[in-house]
């Protein structure tokens, strides 16, 4: 039984690349053997010709031998003709087989790389779905609501304390900010690290969008960006409205923003894609936003500064060959539960081996 299991395991490792390689070897063997047959046929022709010359010299005594020599010559010509036809047919069939196995190998590679791109974007989707839940839930915390209603120093201090408790449990956030409807930061979870109390964020896109949310069940998200008020860290900012009584239909009285620590989470995703050791050095795993801007890269190059030329042809996912023979696979965000995604893509760019 153990021997059978080992055989099955060995068979499981056979790839289309192995088949392509074997096809090439078959071509080599066929060409070699046909060349040998052609060489032997040529030698037989020469021997038949020599025999005919000697038979002619022998006169009447060599007449019977001349007939045999002619027959041998005719057979060698026939073998030569068959060899030429075999060479042409084998060359055509092997070339067709190589093209077919090459296409199959390319399709298999494409399907695998698309799956890897999907896996990367799915992981971040699920992660960010939780962020949308967090911000809407914490916006109903009584300390947050009370501070937004009446931001006196004691309530601000307590709100900071409550936000700090959340940060202690949710280490994926750098800071949480409670703002009034004018964009003034009333409280934050790490006041000792980020001195943002009283800061004006009224011009921040996430604040302007959050201020106009229809209910407490809604949220907004900003593009991945470096935030000067958080030490220049790269974050994903999610925001929800704070409302009277913590009710979804209550009157808006403030905005709660959560700043997700983007870099380490994104780095773990792009570096965690399952590539073989030989692939890692020639493969770039990317997350790009809706503008095709690089927001995460396994080689850590071009983050927030590079825009890639992604030829989707209107497809949500696909595979094609880019410049320099590179293979490019992509998959658009499928979203997760109530999180529709932001039009981001997982992208795999792989150089040929």
Task: Annotate 213-277 with DSSP letters as a single string.
Answer: -SSTT--EEPPPEEEGGGTTEEEEEEEEEEEGGG-TTSPEEEEEEEEEEHHHHHHHHHHTS---H
Residue 203: CB partners within 8 Å, gap ≥ 6? 183
Closest CA to 64 of 80, 47, 82, 51: 51
Same domain, 146 and 248: yes
Domain count, the chain: 3
Average pLDDT score over residue span 99-122: 88
Asked if residue 334 has pLDDT above 50, the reply is yes
Same domain, 150 and 256: yes
Same domain, 101 and 193: no
Q: Does residue 121 fall inside a structural domain?
A: no
Q: Does residue 7 fall inside a structural domain?
A: no
Q: Does residue 133 fall inside a structural domain?
A: no
58 is in which domain, residue-wise?
15-109
Task: Give the pLDDT confidence score for residue 325 in this predicted structure.
Answer: 81
Task: Give the pLDDT confidence score for residue 37 in this predicted structure.
Answer: 75
Task: Give the pLDDT confidence score for residue 48 in this predicted structure.
Answer: 66
Asked if residue 322 has pLDDT above 90, the reply is no
Same domain, 230 and 144: yes
- Place 69 in a pLDDT band, splitting at 50, 70 and 90: low
Same domain, 287 and 261: no
Place of tokens 């529709």: 340
Asked if residue 258 has pLDDT above 80, the reply is yes
pLDDT, tens digit, 9 for 90 and up, residues 113-135: 999 999 999 999 999 999 999 99
At which of 265, 290, 324 does a domain end? Answer: 265
Asked if residue 72 has pLDDT above 60, the reply is yes
Q: Does residue 22 fall inside a structural domain?
A: yes
pLDDT, tens digit, 9 for 90 and up, residues 14-61: 455 666 667 667 777 777 777 777 777 777 677 767 767 776 777 776
At which of 109, 131, 149 does a domain end? Answer: 109
Q: From the centroid of its chain, how far is CA 172?
A: 24
Same domain, 207 and 287: no
Same domain, 149 and 243: yes
DSSP single-letter state for residue 292: -
* CA 36 – CA 238 distance, rounded (Å): 74
Place of tokens 């943002």: 196
Q: Does residue 218 fall inside a structural domain?
A: yes
Task: Give the pLDDT confidence score for residue 13 in this predicted structure.
Answer: 45
Q: Does residue 330 fall inside a structural domain?
A: yes
Task: Give the pLDDT confidence score for residue 18 in this predicted structure.
Answer: 67
Q: Does residue 167 fall inside a structural domain?
A: yes
Angstrom CA distances, 91 to 63, 80, 85, 101, stand at 42, 16, 10, 15
Same domain, 260 and 172: yes
Asked if residue 2 has pLDDT above 50, the reply is no
Same domain, 196 and 299: no
pLDDT, tens digit, 9 for 90 and up, residues 133-192: 999 999 999 999 999 999 999 999 999 999 999 999 999 999 999 999 999 999 999 999
Q: What pTM does this model have?
A: 0.75
For 260-292, give one letter per residue: b (16+ CB within 10 A) or e. Answer: bbbbebbeebbeebebeeebeeebbbbbbbeeb
Residue 34: CB partners within 8 Å, gap ≥ 6? 83, 86, 87, 90
Comparing 71 with 268, the larger pLDDT belongs to 268
Look up the CATH number of the domain holding residue 172. 3.30.450.20
Task: Give the pLDDT confidence score for residue 4 in this predicted structure.
Answer: 35
Task: Give the pLDDT confidence score for residue 66 in this predicted structure.
Answer: 66
What is the H or E stretch that residue 155 is in? helix 153-169
Look up the CATH number of the domain holding residue 285. 3.30.450
Task: Give the pLDDT confidence score for residue 79 in this predicted structure.
Answer: 72
Same domain, 84 and 42: yes
Same domain, 149 and 167: yes
Look up the CATH number of the domain holding residue 97. 1.10.287.950
What is residue 97's three-state secondary structure?
helix
Task: Give the pLDDT confidence score for residue 15 in this predicted structure.
Answer: 59
Same domain, 192 and 79: no
Q: Does residue 318 fall inside a structural domain?
A: yes
- Place 65 in a pLDDT band, splitting at 50, 70 and 90: low
Comparing 270 with 5, the larger pLDDT belongs to 270
At which of 109, 126, 161 does a domain end? Answer: 109
């Amino acid at each position: 039984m153990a021997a059978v299991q080992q055989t099955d395991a060995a068979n499981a490792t056979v790839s289309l690349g192995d088949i392509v390689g074997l096809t090439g070897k078959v071509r080599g063997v066929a060409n070699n053997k046909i060349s040998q047959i052609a060489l032997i046929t040529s030698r037989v022709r020469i021997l038949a010709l020599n025999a005919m010359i000697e038979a002619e010299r022998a006169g009447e005594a060599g007449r019977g031998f001349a007939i045999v020599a002619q027959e041998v010559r005719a057979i060698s010509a026939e073998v030569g003709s068959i060899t030429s036809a075999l060479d042409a047919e084998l060359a055509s069939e092997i070339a067709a087989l190589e093209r077919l196995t090459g296409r199959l190998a390319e399709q298999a590679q494409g399907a695998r790389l698309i799956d890897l791109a999907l896996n990367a974007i799915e992981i971040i989707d699920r992660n960010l779905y939780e962020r949308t839940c967090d911000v809407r839930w914490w916006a109903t915390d009584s300390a947050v609501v009370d501070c937004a209603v009446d931001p006196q120093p004691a309530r601000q201090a307590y709100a900071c304390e409550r936000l700090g408790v959340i940060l202690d449990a949710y280490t994926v956030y750098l800071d949480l900010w409670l703002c009034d409807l004018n964009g003034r930061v009333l409280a934050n979870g790490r006041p000792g690290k980020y001195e943002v109390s009283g800061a004006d964020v009224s011009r921040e896109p996430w604040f302007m969008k959050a201020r106009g949310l229809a209910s407490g069940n809604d949220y907004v998200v900003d593009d991945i960006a470096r935030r000067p008020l958080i030490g220049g860290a790269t974050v994903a900012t999610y925001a929800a409205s704070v409302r009277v009584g913590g009710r979804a239909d209550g009157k808006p009285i403030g905005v709660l923003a959560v700043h997700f620590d983007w870099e380490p989470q994104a780095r773990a995703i792009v570096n965690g894609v399952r590539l073989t050791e030989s692939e890692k050095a020639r493969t770039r795993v990317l997350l790009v936003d809706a503008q095709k801007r690089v927001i995460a890269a396994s080689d850590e190059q071009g983050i927030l500064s590079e825009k890639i030329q992604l030829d989707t042809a209107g497809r949500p996912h696909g595979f094609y060959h880019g410049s320099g023979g590179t293979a490019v696979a992509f998959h658009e965000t499928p979203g997760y539960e109530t999180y529709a995604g932001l039009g981001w893509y997982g992208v795999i760019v792989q150089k040929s081996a």
